[in-house]
Amino acid sequence: MTLKIVIDQEAASAPFEQLRAQIAERARAGVLPVGYKLPTVRGLAEELGLAANTVAKAYRALEADGVIETRGRNGTFVAAAGDAAERRAAAAARTYAEEVRRLGLSREAAQAAVSDAVRAVYGD
């Protein structure tokens, strides 16, 4: 199994974000199964024609999101991320809801702001 990552140098999003998003999507969809060993930072950087720091930044973001886990010298693996991602999303949503309530926004205004943000990020 190969990652089949494609980095579009002309895209609006940075290469590290493209890499992060593609690995996260494949892991959450099950295309990259739990326990799948990812290439080393240097190996993937060389394969994609990216700087090692770019790949390392994407790996750090994925690890922070609970999508991958590093097991020391054994390597980096796809983690069982579904629950962790859902917990982080719920925590972020609660923080947002508390903040907009403190700001005095109505429920409708808060939901409209979320809908606008989701549309902007997902491109709908």
Q: What is the pLDDT of residues 2-14, one digit of tens each?
A: 788 999 999 999 9
Q: Decide: 62 and 24 in contact? Cβ < 8 Å.
A: yes
Residues 42-91 have pLDDT tens digits of 999 999 999 999 999 999 999 998 899 998 899 999 987 556 667 677 77
Query: DSSP letters along 27-93, please?
Result: HHHTSS-TTPEEPPHHHHHHHHT--HHHHHHHHHHHHHTTSEEE-GGG-EEE---HHHHHHHHHHHH
Among residues 29, 91, 37, the alpha carbon closest in space to that of 68 is found at 37
Sheet of 37-38, strands arranged across: 37-38, 76-78, 68-70
SS3 state of residue 6: coil
**Statement: residue 124 has pLDDT above 80:** no
